[in-house]
Amino acid sequence: MLESLSDKFGKVLRDVRGRGTLSESNINETLKDVRLALLEADVNFKVVKDFVASIREKALGKEVLESLTPGQQFTKIVHDELTAILGGEDSVLELSGRPAVIMLCGLQGSGKTTTAAKLAYALKKQGRSPYLVPADLFRLAAVHQLKTLAGGINVDCFDSTEYNTPAEVCTEALRIAGLKKYDTLIVDTAGRLHIDETLMGELGGLKTILKPAEILFVADSMTGQDAVNTAKGFDASLDVTGVILTKFDGDARGGAALSMRMITGKPIKYIGTGEKVECLEVFHPQRVAGRILDLGDVLTLVEKAQTTIDEKEAVALQKKIKKDTFTLDDFKDQLKRIRKMGSLDNILSMIPGFGAMKKAKNIDFDESEMTRIEAIINSMTGEERRNPACLNASRRKRIATGSGTRVQDINKFMKQYQQMRKMMKKIKKSGGAGLKGMFQNMM
C-alpha cells in the first residue's frame, strides 16, 4: 500500500540522512523532490503547497541546520507534518444514541456494502449487537449481497425486499431495532454522484429519519484528488462525520489519504485492507505516516500479532523451540496464525525499511505458496509430521500426489524446514540475538 509514494520518500530521506550537514540549498533540492513525489501521488495541489511550505519553514530553523544529525531532524519534521495532514490524532467512532446509527454513503463501486459488513463484524467483536440495513434498492442484488455477507458473520440483516423506498426501509428498520434491542444500526445506501440533486435529497431524507451518530463517506483510496472533491460535495449536503478509505491494499498512490483531511476537515476513521471481512483497520495517522516514509509500523504489527496469538500459546511455542520439539504440526499452526493477520505483503510492509528491501531484492510474495505448504503438511500422516526424517522417496511421492504438488516441492519444503530447525537451535544458544539473523536468512 502506498508503495510508490513510500518508495520515493524513502529514497529522498535516505539521501538526506546520509549527509553530515544540511544547507539551505540541500533542503530546497530535497523539497523539490518531495513536491514532485506528492504531486505524482495525486495529492491535492493546495495540500502539497502548504505541506512543502510548512516543512521548509521548520527545516530552515536552527535546530536542523545546526544539529549533529540534521538528516534525522529533517525526517522527524517530515513525519510530524505528514501525521498532521493525515489528521494528527486517531479518530474513534461516535456511537451515541440507542440504537447508534451509522450511515454509509459514497460513489458507485467505492465499497459501501462490503464495508458495511466489515464494520458490523468489527463492532460485533467489540461486544455490540449490530443490525445491518440494506437501503440500496437501486443496484441489482445489492440487498441480497448484504444479506449474504451478514449471514457469513452471523449478524442480523433487515429484510428490505418488501419495501419500495429507502425511507420506508429505514423507518421500519429503526422500529425493529427498538423492538429487538439492537444497539447499532449500519445503513448501506445506494452509490450516487454528489451532483445528483434528487439522490442527494433522498440521502438528506434518510438522515432526518435515522438521526445518525455517524455519516461516513466511503471512498476508493485509488481515487486521486477527485475523491476529495466528491467528499466535499457529500459533506456540503449531508455534513459527513468521517471517511473510510477502501482498497488500501492496492497500489493506491496516497492522494486521497493525504488530501482528505486537509481539504474536507473530516477525519479518516478506517481503512479497508483486503477482501476478507476482518480486513478493516482503524486509521492511525502517525502509523500511516511511518509507513509512507518507509519507517515501518511496528505498533500495528505487534497489535495484530497479539490479537491472533495468545500468551499461553506463545509460551508453549517457546518451550517447544527450546526443547527442540517443534514439529510440522506446530509449523502448520504458526502458518495459520500468520495468515490470520492478513496478507503477507501487508504484514511485511509494516517492518521498517522493508519497502526498500523489497524493491532491491525484487521480492514478490506468493500467498499460494503458503496454501501449498499447508496442503503438503495435511497430506502427511501423524507419524510423518512428528518425525519428518522418515520421509523416504515413496512417502514423498504419495504426499505429492495427495497435496497436488510435485516431489520437488516436498523436497524444497523439507529443506526449508530443516533450515528453520537449525536456526531455532541457534536462537536457543544465543538468546534473542539470533532472531535478526534468522530474519535476514529468510529474505
Partner 1 sequence: MFKKMKSGLSGLRQRLSKTHNSIMGGVEGAAPTMSREEFLETLEESLITSDIGVATSLDIAERIRSKGGQNVARLQEYLRDYLYDILKEVEAPLKIERSPFMVLVMGVNGVGKTTTIGKLSAHLSSAGKSVILGAGDTFRAAASEQLELWGRRTGCDVISQSIGTDPGAVTFDTIKAAIGRYANIILLDTAGRLHTKSNLMDELKKINRIAGRELAGAPHEKLLVLDASTGQNALNQARLFNEAIGVTGIVLTKLDGTAKGGIIVPLAKELKIPIRYIGVGEGVEDLREFKAREFVEAII
Interior CA angle at 160 toward 230 and 146, to 5°? 60
Is the Cβ of residue 107 or residue 210 nearer to partner 1 in the bound state?
Answer: 107
Q: What backbone torsions phi and psi does residue 196 show, to the nearest 5 degrees?
A: -85, 100
Report the distance separating Cα 81 and Cα 75, nearest Å. 10
Site for partner 1, residues 151 to 170, rule: CB under 8 A:
152
Quote the CA–CA distance of 176 and 129 in Å, as a whole number. 13
Tell me if 224 contacts partner 1 by CB under 8 A: yes
Supply the minimum distance, in Å, between the C-beta of residue 271 and partner 1. Answer: 14
Q: Going along 88-136, which residue ranges are E strands? A: 100-106, 130-135
Per CB under 8 A, contacts with partner 1 among 194-223 are: 195, 220, 222-223
Integer Cα distance of 270 and 253 in angstroms: 17
The binder of partner 1 chosen from 82, 116, 132, 142 (CB under 8 A): 142
What would the grid cell of residue 99 be?
A: 440504537
- Work out whether 290 is an interface residue with partner 1 (CB under 8 A): no
Contacts to partner 1 from residues 356-375, by CB under 8 A: 364, 366-368
Ramachandran region, residue 133 (left: φ > 0; alpha: ψ -120 to 50; beta: rest): beta
Work out which of 68, 140, 360, 393 binds partner 1, going by CB under 8 A. 140
User: H-helix or E-strand containing 152?
Assistant: helix 142-152
Return the residue of 54, 229, 237, 379 that touches partner 1, per CB under 8 A: 229
Contact 110, 246 (CB under 8 A): yes
Q: Is 249 in the site for partner 1 (CB under 8 A)?
A: yes
Binding mask 37-76 for partner 1 (x = CB under 8 A): --xx-x--x-------------------------------
250 near partner 1, rule: CB under 8 A:
yes
Among 23, 28, 69, 148, binds partner 1 (CB under 8 A): 148
**Degrees (nearest 5) of the Cα angle 59, 60, 64?**
60
Stretch that binds partner 1, among 168-176, 227-235, 314-322, 396-404 (CB under 8 A): 227-235
Residues 6 or more apart in contact with residue 333 via CB below 8 angstroms: none
Query: Contact positions toward partner 1, by CB under 8 A?
Result: 39-40, 42, 45, 107-111, 114, 139-142, 144-149, 152, 193, 195, 220, 222-227, 229-230, 246-247, 249-253, 255, 275, 343, 364, 366-368
